[in-house]
C-alpha cells in the first residue's frame, strides 16, 4: 500500500521512526477507517489523532476525554506542534466558554478536547452538530465498558453521540483492555454498524521490568523495606499509596531517616502539585510519594523503581502504574508490598467510589439550599448535614467530583468553597442498577489482583499477559517467582 505519510511531514515534526503500530493506525485513519488502539501508557497514543488534525484536512478532530486536569497540557503540546487546538470543560468561566464556542462555530479549531458531559449542554450541541468532524477520538476508551476498571455512565452514551454527529470515523484509545472490554468498546461505538472498527495492539511486553511481591504486615515493616530499596536501587522512583493519610505518615517517617522525596496527592495545592511534578521529572535520583492520580500525562523515561505500598484496585490499574518504570528500556524494579489488611481498604474504596444515588442527590440538594453556609464553613458543613463520619469515607468527595463533572454544580477554582447548583442530576446519571453492577465488577477485579499477588509459582508477567488475552506467553525469567523456580 502506498504510504499516506509524507517525508516532509516527518521532518516537520522531527520524527525518525514510529512506534508500532502508530504508522498503521494513522494511515488507517487517513483512509477514513475506524480503529481501537490499545497502547501502554506513554506509548504515544496522542500522536495518532494529532497527525490527522494537523495534516489530513481542515475539518475538526474532536477528542472526548474524562481527564479535565490533563486537557491544558494536551492542548499545549498540540499547539507546540503547530495545531490549532483548545479545550472546553467545566473548569472555564462562562465568558471563556462563550469565546471558545464562538471560535468553534467559526471552525477555527483543528483539534478540540471535551468531556462527554459537554453533550448535555444544548448550546454546545447546537454548534457541534453544524461542524464537520473528520475524526471522533475517544481517550480512556475503557471507561465505555462496564467490564473495564473505570466505567463511567456518561461514557455509555458515546455510541449515541457518534450517531448524533453523523457517524464520523472513530478512534478509541486505551492503555489496557481485556478481550471482554475490547468487544464491549467496539460494540457500543458501532451501534449503527456503519463501518468495522479495526483493532490495533501495541506490544505490551516489558522485558526490562523485575516484578516482586513482598508479604508484609504493618507500616513499620513497609518503611524498613523502603529504606532498603532506597539504598539498593539508585535513581528516580514512584511510591504509590491508596490512602493520603498513610502517604503522609510514611512521608514523615522516611523524612526523619534522611530520605529526600516529594509528595503528590489531592490535598496538596494545584500549584504545589505542579511544582513537585516538574521537580520529579527534572530529577535524577528523587522519589515521589503519590496517589494513583500521579503519572497520568507524565513522561519520564528514567524511573528506576515503582513501589505499591498499598494494594491497587485491579490488574489493569497495577499494570498501567508499573508501566511508568523503565520507559527508557533500561532495567527497572517493581515492588508490591502485600498486606492482607489492605484488601479491606480497597473494598472500602470501591464502595465509596460508587456512592448511592440517594447520597449524590442529597449532596446536590445541600449545595442548592445552603451555598451561603458552605461558603463560610466549607465542605465540612456538607459533611455535617449528611450525618456521617469515617476517616476513610470519601463518598462526599466522589459525589462533588461527579456533580462537577456532569455540569450539575460549578465549583470556583480559586475558592473551592464557592459552589453553585446548576441543574439536578438526571435519573440516567444515577442509575442504581448500574451502580450495583459496577460494584460487582470492581470487587471481582480486586479478587483477581489478590489471587495474582498470592501466586506461589509460575511467572507474574506471563500471568498478566494472559489476563490481557495473550496466548502462551513466555516466562520473564526476572520476577520473584521465576527466580524462585530457577533456584529449586
Residue 350 predicted with pLDDT over 90 = no
* pLDDT beyond 80 at 474: yes
Whether residue 387 has pLDDT greater than 90: no
Span 168-177, average pLDDT: 93
pLDDT tens-digit profile of 413-423? Answer: 678 899 999 88
What does the pLDDT look like over 423-436, one tens digit per residue?
899 887 788 887 88
> Quick one: pLDDT at residue 167?
92
Q: What is the pTM of this model?
A: 0.82
Residue 122: how many other CB atoms lie within 10 Å: 8
pLDDT at 391: 57
Stated length of the chain: 488
Q: Give SS3 for 199.
A: strand
- The H or E element containing residue 166 is none
% of the chain exceeding 90 in pLDDT: 62
**CA–CA gap between residue 11 and residue 6 (Å, rounded):** 9
pLDDT-derived band of residue 165, with 50, 70 and 90 as boundaries?
A: very high
Q: What percent of the chain has pLDDT over 70?
A: 97
Q: How confident is the model at residue 295 (pLDDT cuts 50, 70, 90)?
A: low
Fold for the domain defined by 7-201: Rossmann fold (3.40.50)
Q: Do domains 7-201 and 209-339 have the same CATH topology?
A: yes
Measured CA to CA, the distance from residue 438 to residue 397 in angstroms comes to: 18
Q: Which three cell numbers stand for residue 122?
A: 444544548
Give the SS3 label for residue 465: helix
Dist CA 149 CA 317 (whole Å) = 7
Fold of domain 209-339: Rossmann fold (3.40.50)
b/e code 387-402 from CB counts within 10 Å (16+ = b): eeeeeebbbbebbbeb
Three-class SS state of 172: strand
Q: Mean pLDDT over residues 404-416, rounded?
A: 81
Q: Collect contacts of 409-414 with beta carbons under 8 A, ≥24 apart.
A: 409/364, 409/367, 410/90, 413/91
pLDDT, one tens digit per residue, over 212-235 is 999 999 999 999 999 999 999 999
- What whole-number distance in Å separates Cα of residue 437 and Cα of residue 354? 11
| Alpha helices (runs of H) in 15-157, residue ranges in sequence order | 22-30, 47-55, 68-80, 94-105, 122-128
pLDDT at 1: 39
Give pLDDT tens digits for 94-143. 899 999 999 999 999 999 999 998 998 889 999 999 999 999 999 999 98
When pLDDT is averaged across residues 443-457 and rounded to a whole number, the result is 96
Q: Between the CA of residue 46 and those of 61, 330, 450, what are the distances in Å?
A: 12, 24, 32
Domain ranges of the chain: 7-201, 209-339, 349-436
Average pLDDT, integer, range 15-39: 94
Three cell numbers at 290?
Answer: 503519590
Amino acid at each position: 500500500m502506498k504510504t499516506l505519510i509524507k517525508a516532509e511531514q516527518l521532518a516537520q515534526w522531527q520524527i525518525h521512526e514510529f512506534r508500532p503500530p502508530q504508522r498503521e493506525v494513522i494511515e488507517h485513519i487517513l483512509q477514513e477507517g475506524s480503529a481501537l488502539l490499545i497502547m501502554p501508557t506513554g506509548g504515544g497514543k496522542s500522536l495518532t489523532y494529532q497527525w490527522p488534525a494537523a495534516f489530513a484536512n481542515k475539518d475538526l478532530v474532536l477528542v472526548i476525554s474524562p481527564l479535565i486536569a490533563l486537557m491544558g497540557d494536551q492542548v499545549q503540546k498540540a499547539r507546540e506542534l503547530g495545531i490549532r487546538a483548545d479545550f472546553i470543560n467545566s473548569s472555564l468561566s462562562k465568558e471563556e466558554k462563550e469565546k471558545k464556542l464562538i471560535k468553534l462555530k467559526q471552525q477555527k479549531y483543528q483539534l478540540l478536547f471535551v468531556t462527554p458531559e459537554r453533550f448535555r449542554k444544548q448550546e454546545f450541541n447546537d454548534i457541534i452538530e453544524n461542524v464537520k468532524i473528520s475524526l471522533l477520538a475517544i481517550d480512556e476508551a475503557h471507561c465505555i465498558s462496564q467490564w473495564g476498571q473505570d466505567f463511567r455512565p456518561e461514557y455509555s452514551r458515546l455510541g449515541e453521540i457518534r450517531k448524533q454527529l453523523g457517524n464520523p470515523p472513530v478512534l478509541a484509545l486505551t492503555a489496557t483492555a481485556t478481550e471482554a472490554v475490547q468487544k464491549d468498546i467496539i460494540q457500543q461505538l458501532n451501534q449503527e454498524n456503519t463501518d468495522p472498527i479495526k483493532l490495533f495492539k501495541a506490544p505490551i511486553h516489558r522485558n526490562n521490568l523485575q516484578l516482586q511481591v513482598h508479604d508484609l504486615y504493618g507500616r513499620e515493616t513497609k518503611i524498613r523495606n523502603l529504606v532498603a530499596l532506597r539504598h539498593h536501587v539508585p535513581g528516580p522512583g514512584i511510591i504509590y499509596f491508596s490512602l493520603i493519610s498513610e502517604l503522609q505518615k510514611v512521608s514523615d517517617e522516611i523524612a526523619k531517616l534522611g530520605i529526600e522525596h516529594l509528595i503528590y496527592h489531592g490535598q496538596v495545592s494545584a500549584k504545589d502539585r505542579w511544582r513537585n511534578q516538574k521537580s520529579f521529572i527534572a530529577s535524577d535520583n528523587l522519589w515521589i510519594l503519590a496517589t494513583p492520580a500521579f503519572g497520568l500525562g507524565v513522561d519520564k523515561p528514567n524511573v528506576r523503581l515503582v513501589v505499591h505500598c498499598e494494594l491497587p484496585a485491579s490488574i489493569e490499574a497495577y499494570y498501567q502504574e508499573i508501566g511508568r518504570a523503565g520507559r527508557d528500556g533500561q532495567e527497572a524494579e517493581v515492588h508490591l508490598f502485600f498486606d492482607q489488611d489492605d484488601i479491606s481498604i480497597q473494598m472500602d474504596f470501591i464502595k465509596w467510589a460508587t456512592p448511592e444515588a440517594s447520597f449524590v442527590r442529597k449532596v446536590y440538594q445541600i449545595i442548592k439550599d445552603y451555598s451561603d453556609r458552605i461558603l463560610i464553613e466549607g465542605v465540612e458543613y456538607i459533611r455535617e448535614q449528611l450525618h456521617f463520619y469515617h476517616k476513610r469515607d470519601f463518598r462526599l468527595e466522589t459525589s462533588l467530583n461527579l456533580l462537577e463533572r456532569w455540569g450539575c454544580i460549578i465549583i470556583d477554582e480559586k475558592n473551592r468553597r464557592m459552589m453553585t447548583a446548576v441543574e439536578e442530576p438526571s435519573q440516567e446519571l444515577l442509575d442504581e442498577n448500574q451502580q450495583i453492577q459496577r460494584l460487582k465488577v470492581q470487587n471481582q477485579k480486586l479478587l483477581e489482583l489478590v489471587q495474582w499477588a498470592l501466586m506461589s509459582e509460575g511467572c507474574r508477567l506471563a500471568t498478566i499477559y494472559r489476563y490481557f488475552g495473550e496466548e502462551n506467553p513466555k516466562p520473564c525469567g526476572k520476577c520473584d517467582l521465576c527466580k524462585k523456580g530457577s533456584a529449586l
